[in-house]
Amino acid sequence: MLPMLGEWMEQEIREQPEALHNSADRYFNLAEEAFEDRHFDIILLAARGSSDHAAQYARYLIEIHLGIPVSLAAPSVLTRYGTRVRYKNALAIGISQSGSAPDVSEVLSMMREEGHATLAITNTPGSRLTTEATNSILLNCGPENSVAATKTYTASLLALYQTVRALGAPLPDPRNDLPDDDWLDRTCQAARDFSGPLLRSAPTFALARGYSFCTALESALKLMECALIPCKAYSTADFEHGPKALAAYGSAAIVYGEPAEGLAAQGCRILQAPTSPAPEHLRPLWDVIFGQWLALSAARAHGLNPDKPEHIQKVTETL
């Protein structure tokens, strides 16, 4: 019997509820031990790809619940142009599921040399990122064989959430509000129902706002890398500033939360993500599972194997 297309990806999507429930406390304890009674004037987040989308989530959590300004690092400022930005009393967090991102590691190394606190969030013990950072949170998701990041992405979201809690944010313990197997089944069916209309639509957008903007970004990336569907993510607010003009008949919008006003009347097909029971600040851990299933279903409908896509690989190294 031939293996099913995306077999690894499906298995790793299904591993997420157990992985998240098993690690929630440990993530918090590690962050609390590292930063208890520490106060920072700015937090720098360094990441690429899916990890950069996780950083977008952390930005909203930090600025809303801690009131600390966040800077999303542009590693090229250091690695290509050789400039060291002057930060004051900063915490630098590097996020890389493989721990191999050289540009992210260079940012952490520079920040540590400048005397700032540094934290690595990765699934790979002994990786370069962990050697450059003073403190680390290992995701402990087990091997992720599919090229598409699934369980390492949601684990990164949870590790960042727990880090923000450990820094003093008045956020609730997430253990009772994490996705479960029922949610896996519900979102899987919704994604299967939408895969046909999605394949018949162009252009395609992914829309969300606030905490959920990261989910739009990650869903668009998954559709591009797994199913070869060009998809552009926008904040629902930014979408009003021009791109909405493209959302005519034949187009589709994957929507997390409220769709842009008047979008359906323009002829755009609305693919509304299921509404999770989680509070708003935890919905990205739930909602992205729908995006993962949608990418997998669309890839299978195209006869593509997202476990081994052409032209890209699991570990991407850029400077």
In this prediction the pTM is: 0.95
Identify the pLDDT of residue 316.
53
pLDDT, averaged across the chain? 93
pLDDT of residue 202 exceeding 50, the answer is yes
Q: Which residues lie below 8 Å from residue 316, measured CB to CB, with a gap of 6+?
A: 48, 49, 101
How much is the pLDDT for 1? Answer: 43
- Angstrom distance (rounded) from CA 259 to CA 273: 10
For each of the domains in the chain, give its residue range(s) and CATH number, in order of start.
7-176 (3.40.50.10490), 180-301 (3.40.50.10490)
pLDDT attached to residue 2: 46
pLDDT value of position 271: 96
The band of 258, judged by pLDDT with boundaries at 50, 70 and 90, is confident
Name the pLDDT band for 120 (thresholds 50, 70, 90).
very high
The arithmetic mean of pLDDT across residues 290-317, rounded, is: 83
Of 75, 131, 134, 135, nearest to 107 (Cα)?
A: 75
User: Can you tell me the mean pLDDT for 199-208?
Assistant: 94
Question: pLDDT for 26-49, tens place per residue?
Answer: 999 999 999 988 899 999 999 999
Q: Among 51, 4, 2, 1, which Cα is nearest to 306's?
A: 4
